[in-house]
Amino acid sequence: MRLIIAEKPSLARAIADALPGGGQRQEGAIVCGDTTVTWCLGHLLEQAAPEAYDPADKQWRLDRLPIVPGSWKLAPRAKARGQLAVIRKLIKQAAEVVHAGDPDREGQLLVQEVIEYLNYRGPVSRLLVSDLNRPAVARALSKLASNADFQPLFQAAQARSRADWLYGINLTRAWTLTGRQAGHDGVLSVGRVQTPVLGLIVRRDNAIRDFTPYPFYPLWVDIEVARGRLRAWWAPTERQPLDDQGRLVERAPADALAARLPGAEGRLAKLEQNEKRQNAPLPYSLSALQVDAARRFGLSAQTVLDVCQSLYERHKLITYPRSDCRYLPEEHLPLARKSLGGACRNDATLSEWLEGADFSLRSKAWNDKQVGAHHALAPTGKAADFATLSEMEAQVFRLVVRNVMAQFYPPLRTFEVKAEFHLLDEAFRARGQSVLDPGWKPLFTTKEDSPPLPPLTQGEPCRTREAGVEEKETRPPEPFTDASLIKAMMNIGRYVEDPEVRRTLRETDGLGTEATRAGIIETLVQRGYLVRKQKALRATKLGTALISALPAAVSTPERTALWEQRLSGIAEGSGDARAFQQALIDDLYGLLKQSDAGRLRSSLQTAQGEAAAPAKRIAQARKGAGKKTTRRKSTPARKTTRSSS
């Protein structure tokens, strides 16, 4: 008998439907001729508790830390014992086993750890399914690989699981026990990934809290040229009082210049005119989809993941969603017209987009060299029954279809102009853009980035008609949202302060994985470290106090980003799982020495006392900057702009 072990029942049913033999159901399995398909229920096994290694570690004690297993053990999850018993019985009868976990790091671990836990020693093949429709599953079944080829992926997943256990068990116990000494009654959870993510939010909240706004004063001029009028902005030089972004922070020089400008004559000193081509955004990875869906529809990262799983498993409308790839296999290109035609069949907007698609085009999205264990999210070609889809499912489905459809639209072509005018020995700059060919852009937005300028000629004379000074105010950085936090986790190098570490990070290095990022955010919310305020994610007093009390190495992303990089190296076959684990253990010894009840007590008290500080500080700053000023001509109303600090 050949035994196929799928990750979930939905995948098992899809595999059984693609096999000959009718598919006779029995307890926990489907029999299809000489092949039996069974399934896991997510993880059937978990890392054993500390007391499984030593009963003395059932009690939490600082003098027992760190707990480091000499030989690792797994234990059945309480709700999974029945299905594990089914697989145990079937695997004893199997002449061959097919590993059909999801095509990612965790999918490799989830099924392989069951196979090894049950001591199966026969041949193991690997089935990679990314599309649950019958033809796609049948094609996958015809291309089985050896599971041995995926051992680096398994070793990386196993190293991740053990690292999370070591880090979470030891540091959570250490800071929880320290918290009790500081007067906090409750578990203080510390995690290898969740804590640096919490640290990102706490530091952003602190920057917002400590931000003091100040005014600055842009000066505009309306200029008449040979073939029209335009608005330009003064570019003050360093002899003026400027901030670190080149903004004028005293009004007097702007007012003095504005008074002299009306009627002033000058010339167009510099002119740059370029035609630019911009290709369509690539098809989505899960994280990229979570970012866009959060921005467009206000959906949380976890909601997007849940919706994608429903579109994949229940409706069979999209391919495997937990992907970190934004490219598609080249063999999918000839099938794209058919799959997009099916996906668009029952929706007026999608059908309209389909009519404009040119399937003779080939974008850079079709690239086998960029595709690993899984590819970008794409429609399967099944026609959607929008009557059975929820509003969120329909919204996310259209996004997935749109980004693949956009690959068959021409590039966006624009004509961009940058002009610098010299008036009264000062420089004034203007920029504009005209659309030559909208290409793919109407599928995404109808808004133009900037209006066009009139036709210009290098060196032509100009004359000022009006001038004015605006009063704007700097703003603090925006709080994190699901969209911006997922993007930060994807591109963590931007938040790494150590320049040496930043240099070692690749663009693809991040915190967490496609499959775990949404769960990390929700875990922080559930544990009382984060709250959602409208779309914003803000740290609670407890979350702020914990980050303040922890060593910086635990709450900043540098170390975890490097660990994720090493895990990627293990998965690619270039890293050493044992060396990774030993380095983590060495770090643990140093970190545990830094637990300090006095510091934690002080952090908790400080967090309690800062609730009213931001509003009071901003009110005081605005009062100090609120002196009356005069304006030249028809100046727009007072505005604010965000500081990049």
- Written as one letter, the residue type at 409 is Y
Compute the distance between CA of residue 384 and CA of residue 560 in angstroms, rounded to an integer: 41
Compute the distance between CA of residue 8 and CA of residue 38 in angstroms, rounded to an integer: 9
Tokens of 478: 């925006």
Sequence-separated (6 or more) residues with CB below 8 Å from residue 85: none
Q: Encode 355-386: b = buried (16+ Cβ within 10 Å), e = exposed.
A: eebeeeeebebbbeebbebbbbbbbbbbebee
Q: Which residues carry out catalysis? A: 320
Q: How many residues does the chain have?
A: 645
Main-chain dihedrals φ then ψ at residue 8, nearest 5 degrees: -140, 160
Q: Is 453:230 a contact under the CB 8 Å cutoff?
A: yes
277 three-class SS:
strand
User: Roughly what angle, to the nearest 10 degrees, separates helices 482-490 and 301-309?
Assistant: 80
CA nearest to 91, candidates 149, 12, 7, 4: 4
Q: Which pairs with CB-CB distance under 8 Å and at least 24 residues apart come from 578-585?
A: 580/159, 580/163, 581/159, 581/162, 581/163, 581/166, 584/163, 584/166, 584/167, 585/66, 585/68, 585/166
Three-class DSSP labels, 103-143: CCHHHHHHHHHHHHHCCCCCCEEECCCCCCCHHHHHHHHCC
Q: Which pairs with CB-CB distance under 8 Å and at least 24 residues apart come from 506-513?
A: 506/565, 508/324, 508/568, 509/561, 509/564, 509/565, 509/568, 510/561, 510/564, 511/193, 511/196, 511/197, 511/557, 511/560, 511/561, 511/564, 512/193, 512/197, 512/564, 513/104, 513/105, 513/106, 513/324
Q: H-helix or E-strand containing 586?
A: helix 577-592
